[in-house]
């Protein structure tokens, strides 16, 4: 009988189930769409019950597609969107809609956290991160201040994928990679920080036990087996937050290999052997899903999301391929047109929820193709911002950059990114992202691979390379200097708006 490993990814837009075999070959995939609510400006919420409904539907769908029996699925790994607050009562009932990673309502609470921790510098030293609106801790403080009735009933804090874990296993648990993204972790200790919890007056009893990515956290219950079609007793591994699991899925688990993701958000991810910290907190410093490793992460909140917004708003109904083909006919630099991708505020290098996107330099010469290319280039410039910080924070020399995400399917966009960064970009055979990484972690925990490094070596291969265009790089070096000047010039206007 074959042995399969199931990766579950609870993302912002869909609940995905992915089956792989012991050699890492994808057997089947299924995704159930999810919806996001924005009841007020700056708010972003989801109903946790929808995650569960989407998950069990996708599990049943993927088993039917494979087809696979419950006995063939040896283990389950979990991943999902990071930072979201799921607040439950003592009966483990959801108290309010989950507040998501891209919610921007908590600026005042971030200031409060810095004050309670004796300043930003000490907060960064302990947790590896500055207080940002997307993180979990300020969300908890926001509920305490604005929804005291819900806060008074709270007894458990989970992250999105861990609510699904609770429904699968009846166990409250969290992996260390995702836990370190709450702003409540001691980065070096790889567990909850008593100092931070005490300073923020958050009861330690609310925080679940944490585990390394391949560790078993629980097993499929009889009730969950009936709902999902999985076998009762199937082990469920800790997994990792979507970026750490995605890095496992791309093979970015050792220092020297950097992963770039062009998804809805854009991410630059670099593994480290020790808990390095960028002193000003402009880079995220988290635990890796690979045991005993950490990582730096730079994030731009609207990468492929910028192209999606641009198409939907200014060219509705036009295929992405058509837009990108037009942009390929425009010279590098878009004839002096710049785009800053701050459609949802920004994280790296400007942790500013009030930052706004902009086209700068429009003239009567510019056509739709210029605007499209400027969007592609602006996202690449935002990635260069992240690389610049990595270089200044003690990152080991980069031997390879691996690219993934929906935007990485574009030959033009990959070439632009390669030329802006002036490095060779590699694509790999694993294109399923975080779900693939979660499935690999399940395989490691089950014993199909001796460790995470071995799992990546056995299953992930480079399939293509994109080299920088020297002429483009020369142009982009000059354009990047101008791009860097846009945010400080417009920051006062962003705040006034």
Rounded to an integer, what distance in angstroms lies between the CA atom of residue 52 and that of residue 267? 26
- Answer whether 125's CB lies under 8 Å from 132's CB: no
What angle in degrees, to the nearest 10, is found between the helix axes of 411-421 and 320-327?
Answer: 50
Q: How many CA atoms lie within 13 A of 112 on its CB side?
A: 16
Q: For residue 412, what are its two tokens?
A: 């033009």
Three-class secondary structure of residue 216 per DSSP: strand
Burial of 42 (0-12, 13-18, 19+ CB in 10 A): middle
Containing 306, the helix (H) or strand (E) segment is helix 304-314
Overall size of the chain counted in residues: 497
3-state secondary structure of 209: strand
CB 252 within 8 A of CB 269: yes
342 three-class SS: coil
How far is it, in rounded angstroms, from Cα 344 to Cα 410? 23
3-state class (DSSP) for residue 343: strand
Cα 156 from Cα 318, distance rounded (Å): 46
Which of 280, 328, 335 lies closest to 129, judged by CA?
280
> Rounded CA gap, 45 and 34, in Å?
11
Active-site residue flag, 242 = yes
Q: Which two tokens stand for residue 212?
A: 């390394």
Q: Quick one: DSSP state of residue 364? A: T
Six-digit token string for 226: 């009936």
Cβ(435)–Cβ(243) below 8 Å: no
Active-site residue (options: 21, 242, 352, 385): 242
Phi then psi for residue 403, to 5 deg, are -115, 145
**First-to-final CA distance of the chain:** 62
> Which residues 6+ apart lie within 8 Å of 77 measured at CB?
5, 6, 7, 8, 236, 237, 239, 245, 437, 438, 439, 440, 441, 442, 443, 445
Active site residues per annotation: 242
């Amino acid at each position: 009988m074959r042995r399969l490993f199931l990766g579950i990814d609870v993302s912002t837009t869909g609940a995905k189930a992915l089956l792989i075999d012991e050699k890492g070959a994808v057997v089947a995939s299924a995704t159930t769409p999810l919806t996001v609510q924005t009841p007020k400006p700056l708010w972003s919420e989801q109903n946790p019950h929808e995650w569960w409904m989407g998950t069990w539907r996708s599990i049943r769908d993927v088993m039917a597609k494979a087809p696979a029996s419950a006995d063939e699925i040896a283990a389950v790994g979990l991943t999902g969107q990071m930072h979201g607050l799921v607040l439950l009562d003592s009966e483990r009932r959801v108290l309010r809609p989950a507040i998501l990673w891209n919610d921007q309502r908590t600026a005042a609470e971030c200031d409060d956290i810095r004050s309670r921790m004796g300043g930003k510098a000490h907060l960064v030293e302990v947790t590896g991160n500055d207080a940002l609106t997307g993180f979990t801790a300020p969300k908890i403080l926001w509920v305490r201040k604005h929804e005291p009735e819900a806060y008074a009933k709270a007894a458990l804090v989970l992250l999105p994928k861990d609510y699904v874990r609770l429904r699968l296993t009846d166990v409250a648990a969290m992996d260390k990679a995702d836990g370190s993204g709450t702003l409540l972790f001691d980065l070096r200790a790889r567990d909850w920080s008593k100092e931070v919890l005490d300073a923020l007056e958050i009861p330690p009893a609310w925080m679940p036990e944490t585990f390394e990515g391949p560790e078993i956290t629980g097993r499929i219950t009889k009730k969950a087996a009936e709902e999902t079609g999985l076998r009762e007793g199937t082990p469920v591994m800790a997994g990792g937050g979507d970026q750490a699991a995605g890095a496992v899925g791309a093979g970015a688990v050792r220092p020297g290999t950097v992963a770039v993701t062009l998804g809805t958000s854009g991410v630059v991810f670099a593994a480290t052997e020790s808990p390095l910290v960028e002193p000003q907190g402009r880079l995220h410093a988290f635990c890796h899903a690979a045991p005993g490793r950490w990582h730096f992460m730079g994030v731009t909140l609207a990468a492929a999301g910028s192209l999606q917004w641009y198409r939907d708003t200014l060219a509705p109904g036009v295929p992405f391929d058509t837009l990108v083909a037009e942009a390929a006919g425009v010279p590098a630099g878009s004839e002096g047109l710049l785009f800053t991708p701050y459609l949802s505020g920004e994280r790296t290098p400007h942790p500013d929820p009030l930052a706004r996107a902009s086209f700068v330099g429009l003239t009567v010469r510019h056509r739709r193709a210029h605007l499209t290319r400027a969007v592609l280039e602006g996202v690449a410039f935002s990635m260069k911002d992240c690389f610049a910080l990595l270089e200044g924070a003690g990152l080991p020399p980069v031997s390879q950059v691996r690219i993934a995400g929906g935007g990485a399917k574009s030959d033009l966009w990959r070439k632009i990114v390669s030329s802006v960064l002036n490095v060779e970009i590699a694509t790999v055979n694993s294109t399923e992202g975080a779900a693939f990484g979660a499935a690999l972690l399940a395989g490691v925990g089950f014993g199909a691979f001796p460790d995470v490094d071995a799992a990546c070596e056995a299953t992930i291969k480079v399939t293509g390379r994109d080299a920088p265009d020297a002429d483009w790089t020369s142009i982009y070096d000059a354009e990047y200097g101008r791009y860097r000047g846009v945010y400080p010039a417009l920051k006062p206007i962003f705040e006034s708006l």
